[in-house]
Amino acid sequence: MAQRFWNTLSEFVILVLIAFVLALGIRTAVAEVRWVPTGSMEPTIIAGDRLFTVKLNYYFKKPERGDIIIFNIPNQIKKETNTPFVKRVIGLPGDTIEVRGGKVYINGQVYEVGAASMPEYIYGPAKVEDGMLFVLGDNRNHSSDSHEWGLLPEENVIAKAVFVIWPLDHIKVLK
């Protein structure tokens, strides 16, 4: 009877350790849930939303225009927090970005995101350098983003935001 108890206990401990290692590996390399602390992406993402993010995407390909990304704060920002930012990729390497008259222009063409507010500022024209991205929050006038602090190094990108998973009344696929 005692031998059976110890066998069962050792199997349980091994299963818990395997589950822990798998969970840690998945969170580190594959996917994780992120909490959004600010309203810089409203109305697409609301402060307090939980996002399901996928890290694997950017091991195999570069971010694309329109992707909503999670990234480490660039060095040029005064770091009051280490919480990663959430923004939308607007400009890719080689693009020329300009913001004027309430519109965002990429290479001279208007670029619209249906949910994004109209910017009330002027930026550029500025060229996106190799290895860099130009990112904006959808809440254009209340977002600390590339129009304030400049280009984002691609190496700072952590993951792509794929779904809002919490709260339940906000669940949606992000586009």
How far is Cα 134 from Cα 50, in angstroms, rounded to an integer? 24
pLDDT tens readout for residues 76-130:
776 666 788 899 999 999 999 999 999 999 999 999 888 888 999 999 899 999 9
Ranges of each domain in the chain:
33-173
**What is the distance of C-alpha 100 from the center of its chain?**
25
7 pLDDT tier (thresholds 50, 70, 90): low
Query: Is the pLDDT score of 167 beyond 90?
Result: no
Catalytic residue among 40, 55, 146, 160: 40
Long-range contacts of 95-103 (CB under 8 A, 24+ apart): 95/127, 95/128, 95/134, 96/124, 96/125, 96/126, 96/127, 96/128, 97/123, 97/124, 97/125, 97/126, 97/127, 97/128, 97/134, 97/146, 98/123, 98/124, 98/125, 98/126, 99/123, 99/124, 99/147
- In terms of C-beta density within 10 A (0-12 exposed, 13-18 middle, 19 or more buried), how is residue 16 classed? exposed
pLDDT at 121: 93
Its pTM stands at: 0.80
For residue 146, give both structure tokens. Answer: 């590339």
pLDDT of 13 reads 60
Amino acid code (one letter) for 149: W
Q: Please give the CATH number for the structural domain made up of 33-173.
A: 2.10.109.10
In angstroms, the CA 39 to CA 56 distance is 26
Catalytic entry in 55, 87, 146, 160: 87
Q: Based on the residue annotation, tell me whether 40 is a catalytic residue of this protein.
A: yes
**C-alpha span between 68 and 63 (Å, rounded):** 9
Phi/psi at 120 (nearest 5 deg)? -105, 30
Cα 103 to chain centroid distance, Å, stands at 23
CA–chain centroid gap for 66, Å, is 11
Structure tokens at 19: 């589950």
For residue 134 the two structure tokens come to 């130009």
pLDDT of residue 170: 82
N-term to C-term CA, the chain: 58
Q: What is the per-residue pLDDT across 18-37, written as a single tens digit (0 to 9) for each?
A: 555 555 545 455 557 778 88
**Is 55 one of the catalytic residues?**
no
Look up residue 25 and give its two tokens.
């590996």
Per-residue pLDDT reduced to its tens digit, 142-159: 998 999 889 999 999 999
